């Protein structure tokens, strides 16, 4: 059984997923981070997977979207997908964008973050070790989700998402609640000098808590902590951030993990929308 000390573990209709306590407590939004449990896929994608481009049966993928959105209390017809390429680009989703990527043709590319103030829009980003980021301003009624691999992290997609919420919707940074979801933890995420060189460029970071030296030009990188510090540096109140205590690589039977399976896997999803 999946357990977490920092996130809420939920089960609805056989679908196991996680929520961020602070976003849940604020009310007015639906959200969840998926696991591999409760879907319609088989083989390496079993059973809950959301990718449309790595070989899974499309009927199963659509059924997974339907099951997961129903579990969190959302309408799958509102699902709107990103187009992730490890950028720091975010897109404001308007009413006419709802459904793009799943039920309607997507007319945008290179988007790793989505933001909306439109009720009924269900924003979706996808993962298999990268860092899921969720955002909610219950005052201005704005939600967002961003995909932060190491490239997106050092390009400051977390900051770009916050800045866009402030610029486009007048959000106050102190009102924004954030969640950092399960990813590959510092226990498993070994990187080399080129990655750490990019992390070191972020001069505001407390680097001692972002990574440890392993020797031989190798390091163990903590992307949860790195993104947490980026969010705080972007004006988010430390007490408004939930951070997952789960590693997708360690728990590859529960979560899809690119590194644990050497790429033979499905994808997880973070969904968030306004009620």
* C-alpha dihedral sign at 16, 19, 21, 24: negative
Over residues 232-263, the pLDDT tens digits come to: 999 999 999 999 999 999 999 999 999 999 99
- Give residue 206's pLDDT band: very low, low, confident or very high (50, 70, 90): very high
- Give residue 275's pLDDT band: very low, low, confident or very high (50, 70, 90): very high
Mean pLDDT of the chain: 98
pLDDT of residue 64: 98
Pick the residue with more confidence: 114 or 53? 114
Q: What CATH topology corresponds to 8-184+238-274?
A: 3.60.140
By the 10 Å C-beta count (0-12 exposed, 13-18 middle, 19+ buried), 208 is classed as: exposed
* pTM tops 0.95: yes
H or E segment to which residue 28 belongs: none
By the 10 Å C-beta count (0-12 exposed, 13-18 middle, 19+ buried), 12 is classed as: middle
Over residues 145-162, the pLDDT tens digits come to: 999 999 999 999 999 999
pLDDT of residue 198: 98
Over residues 46-69, the pLDDT tens digits come to: 999 999 889 899 999 999 999 999
Residue 1 has pLDDT above 90, yes or no: no
């Amino acid at each position: 059984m999946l357990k977490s000390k920092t996130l809420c573990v939920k089960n609805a209709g056989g679908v196991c997923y996680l929520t961020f306590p602070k976003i849940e407590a604020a009310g007015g939004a639906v959200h969840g981070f998926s696991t591999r449990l409760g879907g319609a896929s088989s083989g390496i994608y079993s059973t809950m997977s959301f990718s449309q481009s790595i070989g899974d049966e499309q009927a199963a993928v659509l059924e997974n979207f339907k099951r997961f959105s129903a579990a969190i209390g959302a309408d799958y017809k509102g699902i709107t997908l990103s187009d992730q390429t490890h950028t720091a680009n975010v897109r404001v989703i308007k009413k006419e964008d709802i459904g793009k990527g799943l039920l309607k043709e997507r007319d945008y590319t290179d988007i790793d973050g989505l933001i909306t103030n439109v009720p009924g829009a269900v924003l979706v980003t996808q993962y298999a070790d990268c860092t899921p980021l969720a955002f909610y301003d219950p005052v201005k009624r704005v939600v967002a989700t961003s995909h932060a691999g190491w490239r997106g992290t050092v390009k400051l997609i977390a900051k770009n998402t916050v800045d866009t919420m402030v610029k486009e919707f007048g959000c106050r940074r102190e009102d924004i609640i954030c969640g950092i979801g399960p990813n590959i933890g510092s226990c498993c995420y070994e990187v080399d000098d080129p990655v750490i060189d990019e992390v070191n460029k972020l001069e505001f970071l407390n680097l001692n808590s972002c990574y440890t030296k392993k020797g031989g030009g190798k390091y163990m990188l903590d992307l949860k902590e790195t993104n947490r510090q980026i969010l705080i540096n972007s004006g988010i109140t430390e007490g408004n951030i939930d951070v997952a205590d789960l590693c997708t690589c360690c728990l590859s039977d529960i979560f899809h993990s690119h590194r644990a399976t050497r790429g033979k896997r499905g994808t997880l999803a973070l969904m968030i929308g306004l009620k």
